Amino acid sequence: MKVFVHDEALDRGGYPRECPFNTSRAGMTYRTLRSTGLLEGADRRVIAPVALTRTMLERFHEPAYLDALQRAGRGEHDLDALWMGLGSPDCPLFDDMYEYVSLAAGGSVTAAKLLLSGEAHIAFNPSGGFHHAHPGRAAGFCYVNDVVLACMTLADAGKRVLFLDVDAHHCDGVQDAFYERSDVMTVSVHESGKTLFPGTGFEEEIGHGEGRGYSVNFPLPVGTYDAALLRVFDRGVMPVIEAFDPDVIVMELGMDMLAGDPLAHLNLSNNAYADVVERIRGLGKPLLATGGGGYHVENTVRGWALCWSVLCGDQEDHDAMSFGMGGVMLETTEWSGGLRDRTLLSDAGRRGGVDSEIDATLERIYALVYPLHGIVPPARDR
């Protein structure tokens, strides 16, 4: 069973209109999937999220921080709250913010419980993916960390959990939460911290103590293109995942790696995301996918819809059906070829530099991480 997690309550309120993190994306994705028939069928359902309780939130977040978050949602704000990141440019205040983020983040824990009960094999919460939130601090549009709480829920049930983050920004909040644990592996593919917030996620960050080797980072250079990303996955990421052999996979699908995103500097099409999702789906593991970044709204919606179709295994039929009518079905006139992007041409001059930097990153991972898991590096292909 494939489950899409959404509720119309998430279409109301949410982050301020001027905030780059546009909470209408999930509802737009839902409507796109409805209009294209991708939520129809006996093998898929739409489930409403259950809001996180205070007890559940305190499994990761500090009580004083949650108190400040609640007060901020009522319009009460002080210097202590600002020190906690609340009211900063990237974590603005808005009415009922505690209730809103508890519901949005609750979708990921709802999905995790569905996987554990066997009611779902694949679940997608596009309203989730708040991977920058820390126990006592908001950051990067993230107030409560649904990814950490979902991974905790799965790990508490005795599962070996892989968290795979495919988002332009490094998942610092999640990495920190599990940095000394070996039951949850964090693998992040992101734009290098040299050029993008939060300035972390370098190859040398591999975990500590029992967690040594269970944090794995693949920083990408500016201008990374589809074929380069897929080489990182095939020659770097997939061997690590296969060696870890997780019981369940949690995957963040931030669409800010797409070309044209206003907050990042990569050059990917959504075809690369589809190929990555197909590789992960092919492992046959229970899979929880979340949203994340993505600040070009229309591109993000189309990318998430495409990823859902891949998760359901019917993207080829849909692509054939939708070709030529994407502008009508997706409520945009920007591109009329269905869910998939045009093939992007990479800058030939930049491409060589991208390839060289990726070669260097892979070599560092082969030296730092692969020996810890008994993985033999692949033969050089370039």
Active site residues per annotation: 132
Closest C-alpha to 206, from 98, 366, 20, 381: 366
Strand (E) or helix (H) holding 219 = strand 215-220
HSE-CB for 25 with a 13 A CA cutoff:
32
- DSSP alpha helices (H): ranges in 75-180? 79-83, 97-117, 146-156, 172-177
Non-local (6+) Cβ contacts of 100 within 8 A are 10, 13, 14, 23, 73, 94
Burial 200-218 (b: 16+ CB within 10 A, else e): bbebebbbeeebebbbbbb
**How would you label 228-249 residue by residue, b for 16+ Cβ within 10 Å and e otherwise?**
bbbbbbebbbbbbbeebebbbb
